[in-house]
Amino acid sequence: MRGANAALGAAGLAAFLALGEAVPRLGLVKEAYLPPTSRIADALGQEVTEHAFWTALGDTLTGWALGLAIAIGAGVVVGLLVSVVPYLREVTASTIEFLRPIPSVALIPLAVLLYGTELRSVLLLVVYASFWQVLVQVLYGVQDVDPVAEETARSYGLGPWARVRHVLWPTALPYVVTGVRLAAAVALILAVTAELVIGAPGLGARIAVAESSQAVPDMYALVVVTGLLGLLINVGARTVERRALAWHQSVRGEVMV
């Protein structure tokens, strides 16, 4: 089954690349706006030979990884505290619902004012966007705890943190892993967006330079790199999810299928 899916995916990718080669060659789109796939591939090959490309890639991955780590830690801790401490959920509910819908890109002017084009500007946007993905999933996971299991733990004399460890956390973990997977994708989007708009070092800034200098094939090549990063992050997150939740029914069912 997986082999068939992989073959279909490869066939779809091959068809897409062929279409990207044919459309500008046939004159349906000007090559100045959309170069053929072969020219983009040549530009990508040139990019990977340059030291500046790898430096930019490292800067993007640094902002992504640091921001994601901070968001995961803060989201899990805050989510558990809000869920466990009595009345704290009710006190913070309106604040969470007010802050959560604010688009992270709306904070770009604030990030520029505070930190300019430094890494901290990228981190501010990445953490803000990714934090809510994790927090909301933690809150949903805690709400899904079986009341009977909770009462049983209380009757056996388990303290608050013991109940968190043995009852609450196993129930919330699938939600937490889902939040981490979503946050990983959002973190990459915001990291590249911050670099593209603010000019912070990274692939986004390199894309902006290529666009402004009319190096269109290089621009598309860098966009392809960001897409490949997103694909690798998603595959990695899925792999971690399957390993961390090998005991869970959803993963066991997926493996059986």
For 38-86, write each residue's pLDDT tens digit.
899 999 999 999 999 999 999 999 999 999 999 999 999 999 888 878 7
pLDDT score for 247: 63
pLDDT score for 254: 42
At residue 16 the predicted structure's pLDDT band, cuts being 50, 70 and 90, is: confident
Q: pTM to 2 decimals?
A: 0.85
Whether pLDDT at 5 is above 70: no
2-25 and 37-47 helices, crossing angle to 10°:
110
pLDDT score for 86: 75
What's the mean per-residue pLDDT of the chain?
A: 85
pLDDT score for 250: 54
Whether pLDDT at 255 is above 50: no
Average the pLDDT over 240-252 and give the result: 68
3-state DSSP percent of the chain in helix, strand and coil, to 5: 85, 0, 15
Whether pLDDT at 257 is above 60: no
Whether pLDDT at 2 is above 60: no
pLDDT score for 30: 83
Given a contact cutoff of 8 angstroms between Cβ atoms, the answer to whether 142 and 168 are in contact is yes
**Distances in Å between the alpha carbon of 136 and those of 67, 92, 172, 176, 228?**
17, 12, 11, 9, 28
Whether pLDDT at 161 is above 90: no
**Distances in Å between the alpha carbon of 130 and those of 48, 69, 113, 209, 213?**
29, 9, 21, 27, 32
Whether pLDDT at 194 is above 70: yes
Structure tokens at 33: 């706006």
Task: Report the percent of the chain where pLDDT is more than 70.
Answer: 91
Whether pLDDT at 89 is above 90: no
Q: What is the pLDDT of residues 202-243, one digit of tens each?
A: 999 999 999 999 889 999 999 999 999 999 999 898 888 888
pLDDT score for 56: 94
